């Protein structure tokens, strides 16, 4: 036992300490757990997305996506990696279903590749692509696992990007046509739909900073235009489902927003305001129109409006919703999906007025507390308290919506099977969800672990591994092997919560 602890400590330092040294005393100090169970029928899931796992990027009639285009350029993705093969789930989906079965999950969150079913984005249907998802759903049914399906996880058909992509307001009509096809083809079996995965990433990284496909650069302008079209496209698809499919398919439709937690760095009111502003700019940007007033947060309208005027724009860089659009958008979701990973400390800090960007518009400085544990991703620090705080914040700001955690998880770079760091992460984040439900009365109805398996982690390639299952990428069969965290997660699901006599729940790390 002593030996195992020592090994664990070493591994922990190796995994956690790749960008700093973790004080040894921190490693064994666990936050006290709440030993209790989740509500009956709680949704337990794990997730992937099409481009990250499917491979088969150009077979059976699939059209190229903006990520296929983006990763074909040299120097973009770490080590020139691409999603061309990835986990080859287009062929090996039964392995994924087997892995899911061993986790005891009730649901599998996966995404449909838009260009696989509509190679040109609109028009011509690619039947082999439709059949692939039918086969996957059928295999899930045999395993008694329900699908939770994301319509858009970043892989826009290149043909639509060639017409302006998310900057073209016609994108709402294109997205509606695609969604209608999916609801028609798969809606008898899919009862939980997610329209968009993380519109924040598309708007800010895809069209603002240009560090994600389609790599357009307009940090203070395109960002908000893309965001606006994303919200309207989401609402259009919600209304389509509500009027034409919900009456007989009886599912729910939501949106998955990635929202960090922001704590004030000090007791100063200015820093508390800065933290609130950061949350509003990240979460409120999309949640306020859909779950709140039907419009952007007032702090965004004020800041961007004032700065735009000083910068010589003749109108705000933040587009306006018409009265009809506000009514159309408000209430356009049955649940709020939350992708949550990490937290920041926040200070008030006025930006340079010549800096025309979404980031500068916020007038703040956000950073990580150096005492927080790291992970395999530079942006991901382990802060379980953040998830509970975020859930409470969302409940209070957006009318106590039903929430599903649509992603939560942690990376390492080793992909080791003895993944104590990930067990630590899941234990404490999931326990904070339980506390939010039991102690704070937040309406969370499901939890999704990101990710089912190591996969194509976008610009980080295959270096940052989020999987509950290891994938051996050097073997052509791409075998999936359960990590220790997979057994731990399966145990939590089996118990529907935290039991005192579950060894991992008593022993702090493993």
Catalytic residues: 198, 407
Given the DSSP bridges, would you call strands 480-482 and 469-471 parallel, antiparallel or unpaired?
Answer: antiparallel
In whole angstroms, how close is the CB of 206 to ligand PNW at the nearest point?
Answer: 12
**Residue of 403, 419, 434 whose CA lies nearest to 499:** 434
Among 70, 384, 457, 486, contact with ligand PNW (rule: CB under 6 A): 457
> Counting contacts by CB under 6 A, is residue 341 touching ligand PNW?
yes
Q: Which is nearer to ligand PNW, 194 or 504 (CB)?
A: 194
Q: Which two tokens stand for residue 129?
A: 């692509």
Q: Which is nearer to ligand PNW, 307 or 465 (CB)?
A: 465
Q: Which is nearer to ligand PNW, 57 or 328 (CB)?
A: 57
Which residues, numbered 69-128, are part of the site for ligand PNW (CB under 6 A)? none
The dihedral of CA 100, 103, 104, 107: what is its sign? Answer: negative
Whole-angstrom Cα distance, residue 402 to residue 217?
35
> Counting contacts by CB under 6 A, is residue 454 touching ligand PNW?
no
In whole angstroms, how close is the CB of 110 to ligand PNW at the nearest point?
Answer: 11
Among 339, 346, 357, 485, contact with ligand PNW (rule: CB under 6 A): 339
**Residue of 467, 472, 408 whose CA lies nearest to 434:** 408
Among 178, 450, 488, 498, contact with ligand PNW (rule: CB under 6 A): 450
Q: Which is nearer to ligand PNW, 260 or 510 (CB)?
A: 260
Whole-angstrom Cα distance, residue 156 to residue 256?
17
Which positions from 399 to 438 touch ligand PNW by CB under 6 A, shown as an x/- string?
--------x-------------------------------
> Bridge partners of 335?
254
> Counting contacts by CB under 6 A, is residue 198 touching ligand PNW?
yes
- Which one of the spans 122-130, 194-202, 286-294, 346-354 is the region binding ligand PNW (CB under 6 A)? 194-202
DSSP 226-275: HHHHHHHHHHHHHHHIIIIIHHHH--EEEEEEE--EEEESSS-HHHHHHH
In whole angstroms, how close is the CB of 293 to ligand PNW at the nearest point?
Answer: 25
Q: Which two tokens stand for residue 342?
A: 């990490």
Q: Which is nearer to ligand PNW, 166 or 245 (CB)?
A: 166
> Counting contacts by CB under 6 A, is residue 212 touching ligand PNW?
no
Contact 437, 38 (CB under 8 A): yes
The dihedral of CA 179, 132, 212, 366: what is its sign? Answer: positive
Q: Which is nearer to ligand PNW, 145 or 449 (CB)?
A: 449
In whole angstroms, how close is the CB of 33 to ligand PNW at the nearest point?
Answer: 25
> Counting contacts by CB under 6 A, is residue 152 touching ligand PNW?
no
SS3 213: coil
Q: How far is CA 141 from CA 98, 127, 310, 450, 482, in A?
A: 12, 21, 57, 21, 22
SS3 311: coil
Binding site for ligand PNW (CB under 6 A): 49, 52, 197-198, 201, 258, 260, 339, 341-342, 379, 407, 450, 457, 466
């Amino acid at each position: 036992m002593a030996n195992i602890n020592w090994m664990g400590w070493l591994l922990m330092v190796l995994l956690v300490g790749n960008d700093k040294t973790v004080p040894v005393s921190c490693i064994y100090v666990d936050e006290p757990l709440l030993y209790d169970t989740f509500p009956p029928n709680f949704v337990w899931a794990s997730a992937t997305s099409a481009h990250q796992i499917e491979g088969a990027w150009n077979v059976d009639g699939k059209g190229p996506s903006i990520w296929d285009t983006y990763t074909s350029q040299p120097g973009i993705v770490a080590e020139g990696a691409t999603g061309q093969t990835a986990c080859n789930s287009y062929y090996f989906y039964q392995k994924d279903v087997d892995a899911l079965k061993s986790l005891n999950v009730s649901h599998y969150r996966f995404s449909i590749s838009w260009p696989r079913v509509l190679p040109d984005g609109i028009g011509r249907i690619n039947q082999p692509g439709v059949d692939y998802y039918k086969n996957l759903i059928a295999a899930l049914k045999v395993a008694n696992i329900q699908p939770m399906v994301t319509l858009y996880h970043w892989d826009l058909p290149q043909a639509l990007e060639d017409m302006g992509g998310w900057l073209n307001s016609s994108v709402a009509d294109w997205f509606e046509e695609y969604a209608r096809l999916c609801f028609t083809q798969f809606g008898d079996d899919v009862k939980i739909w997610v329209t968009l995965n993380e519109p924040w990433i598309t708007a800010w990284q895809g069209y603002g900073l240009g560090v994600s496909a389609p790599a357009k650069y307009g940090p203070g302008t395109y960002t908000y235009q893309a965001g606006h079209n994303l919200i309207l496209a989401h609402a259009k698809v919600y209304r389509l489902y509500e009027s034409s499919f919900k009456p007989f398919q009886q599912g729910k439709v939501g949106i998955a927003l990635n929202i960090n937690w922001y704590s004030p760095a000090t007791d100063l009111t200015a820093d508390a305001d800065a933290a609130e502003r950061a949350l509003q700019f990240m979460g409120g940007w999309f949640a306020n129109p859909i779950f709140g007033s039907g419009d952007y947060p007032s702090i965004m309208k004020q800041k961007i409006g004032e700065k735009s005027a000083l910068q010589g724009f003749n109108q705000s860089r933040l587009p306006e919703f018409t009265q009809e659009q506000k009514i159309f958008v408000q209430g356009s979701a049955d649940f709020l999906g939350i992708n949550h990973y990490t937290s920041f400390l926040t200070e008030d800090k006025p930006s340079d007025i010549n800096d025309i960007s979404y980031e500068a518009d916020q007038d703040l400085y956000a950073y990580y507390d150096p005492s927080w544990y790291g992970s395999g991703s530079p942006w991901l620090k382990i802060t379980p308290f953040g998830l509970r705080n975020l859930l409470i914040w969302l409940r209070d700001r957006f009318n106590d919506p039903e929430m599903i955690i649509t992603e939560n998880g942690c990376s390492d770079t080793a992909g080791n099977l003895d993944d104590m760091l990930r067990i630590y992460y899941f234990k404490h984040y999931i326990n904070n969800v339980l506390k939010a439900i039991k102690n704070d009365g937040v309406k969370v109805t499901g939890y999704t672990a990101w990710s089912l398996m190591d996969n194509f982690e976008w610009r980080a390639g295959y270096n940052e591994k989020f999987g509950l299952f290891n994938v051996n990428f050097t073997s052509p069969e791409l075998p999936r092997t359960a990590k220790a965290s997979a057994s731990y997660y399966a145990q939590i699901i089996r118990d529907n919560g935290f039991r005192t006599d579950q060894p991992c729940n008593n022993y702090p790390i493993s």
